[in-house]
């Protein structure tokens, strides 16, 4: 698959989003918004999106919305990716025709993406047997009980199993969609999509609570100039006593004010800044690891790897391989 935007897209970019009666509009709308809108640079969508009816009859979504589709399950026959939004009721059996169509699509090499309880639809096909998967935190136990052959990951945003991508509830579906764009077209395309949707561009699937960007200090805080200086020079060392004197506060007052303004400690805040800078360099440059570590304030490549593994459950090399520019 391409890592960057080509003049013409060489892989199967036909993407089908399933629709069914009593559809959850949030998960459905997430997929439409992420994959169906024009890319700001190309002035056209990255994917050829279609909506397929998973069953006959009127398709009514929550809130009184009725959905018009381009076709039925025959659209899956030419799809490169199929997206399954949250299923309407865990106790309701999935139509056999839908299960057969998903199995056939997977056998042809089609990727399948689930959002929230859409994982239960895919689980019913048997395609998740022996694989890792996730769903909304409220449904983890139900998924484990109903499908003990699935390795359920209870605390992650999404799980990438190659041709199958499952995601947790609601907003994590957006994370998974941006991740797929990133995987197909590189970080620049995903960043453009994220800016359009006013959302953080990337959260690793394994991270349930990781804050992607250092928390911005509240407007008007006397700490703002100091934090701006630290962000501009992430290699700077933290000296609490010096920072407190600069802010004309006692150490205790400074730490309390810092936490009130940022939600964390100076060391953790600066670590977030350094990790963000390292991720950006890994994505957009071919600099060697020791130089990236030095520029980001980690000192050595070993220290960079330690914090990357601890905070992101990944290594800098793996991150670059997955999200960096092709050389």
**Range 91-111 average pLDDT:** 95
Q: Where are the domains of the chain?
A: 14-197, 214-327
pLDDT at 227: 77
CA dist., res. 303 & res. 69, Å (int):
52
247 pLDDT tier (thresholds 50, 70, 90): confident
CA dist., res. 180 & res. 277, Å (int):
22
For the ranges 48-52, 207-211, 227-231, 234-238, which has the lowest average pLDDT? 207-211
CA dist., res. 131 & res. 162, Å (int):
11
Res 206 pLDDT > 70: no
The torsion defined by the Cα of 324, 47, 86 and 144, in degrees rounded to 10, comes to -40
CA dist., res. 171 & res. 182, Å (int):
17
pLDDT at 215: 43
Task: Name the CATH code of domain 214-327 (choices 3.10.20.740, 2.40.10.10, 3.40.640.10, 1.10.10.60).
Answer: 1.10.10.60
For the ranges 107-111, 149-153, 310-314, which has the lowest average pLDDT? 310-314
7 pLDDT tier (thresholds 50, 70, 90): very low
**Range 294-315 average pLDDT:** 89
Res 112 pLDDT > 80: yes
List strand residue ranges (DSSP E) for 7-80, in order: 14-19, 38-39, 44-45, 48-53, 60-61, 65-66
Higher pLDDT, 221 or 175: 175
153 pLDDT tier (thresholds 50, 70, 90): confident
**How far, in whole angstroms, is CA 183 from its chain's centroid?**
11
Instruction: Kindly report the CATH number that applies to the domain delimited by 14-197.
Output: 3.40.50.880
For the ranges 53-57, 97-101, 106-110, which has the lowest average pLDDT? 53-57
Res 204 pLDDT > 60: no
Residue in the structure block whose two tokens are 């949250």 = 86
Tell me what the pLDDT averaged over the chain comes to: 85
Res 248 pLDDT > 70: yes
Res 218 pLDDT > 60: no
- Determine if the pTM surpasses 0.85: no
pLDDT at 212: 41
């Amino acid at each position: 698959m391409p890592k960057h935007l080509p003049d013409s897209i060489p892989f199967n970019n036909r993407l089908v989003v399933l629709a069914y009666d009593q559809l959850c509009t949030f998960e459905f709308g997430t997929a439409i918004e992420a994959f169906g809108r024009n890319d700001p640079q190309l002035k056209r969508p990255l994917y050829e999106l279609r909506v397929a009816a998973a069953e006959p009859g009127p398709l009514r979504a929550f809130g009184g919305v009725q959905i018009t589709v381009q076709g039925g399950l025959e659209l899956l026959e030419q799809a490169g990716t199929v997206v399954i939004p949250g299923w309407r009721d865990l106790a309701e059996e999935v139509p056999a025709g839908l299960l057969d169509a998903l199995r056939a699509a997977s056998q042809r090499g089609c990727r399948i993406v689930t959002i929230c309880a859409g994982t239960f639809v895919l689980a019913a096909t048997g395609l998740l047997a022996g694989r890792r998967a996730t769903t909304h935190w409220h449904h983890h136990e139900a998924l484990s009980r109903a499908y003990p052959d699935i390795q359920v990951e209870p605390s992650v945003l999404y799980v990438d199993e190659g041709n199958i991508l499952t995601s947790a509830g609601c907003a994590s579906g957006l994370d998974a969609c941006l991740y797929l764009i990133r995987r197909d077209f590189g970080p620049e395309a995903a960043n453009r999509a994220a800016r359009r949707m006013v959302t953080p561009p990337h959260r690793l699937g394994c991270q349930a609570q990781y804050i992607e960007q250092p928390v911005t200090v509240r407007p008007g805080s006397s700490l703002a100039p100091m934090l701006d200086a630290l962000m501009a020079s992430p290699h700077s060392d933290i000296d609490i006593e010096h920072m407190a004197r600069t802010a004309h506060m006692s150490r205790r007052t400074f730490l309390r004010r810092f936490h009130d303004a940022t939600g964390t400690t100076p060391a953790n805040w600066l670590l977030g800044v350094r990790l963000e800078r390292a991720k950006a360099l890994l994505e957009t440059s071919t600099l060697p690891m020791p130089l990236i570590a030095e520029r980001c304030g980690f000192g050595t490549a070993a220290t960079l790897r330690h914090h990357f593994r601890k905070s992101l459950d990944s290594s800098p090399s793996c991150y670059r391989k997955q999200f960096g520019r092709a050389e």
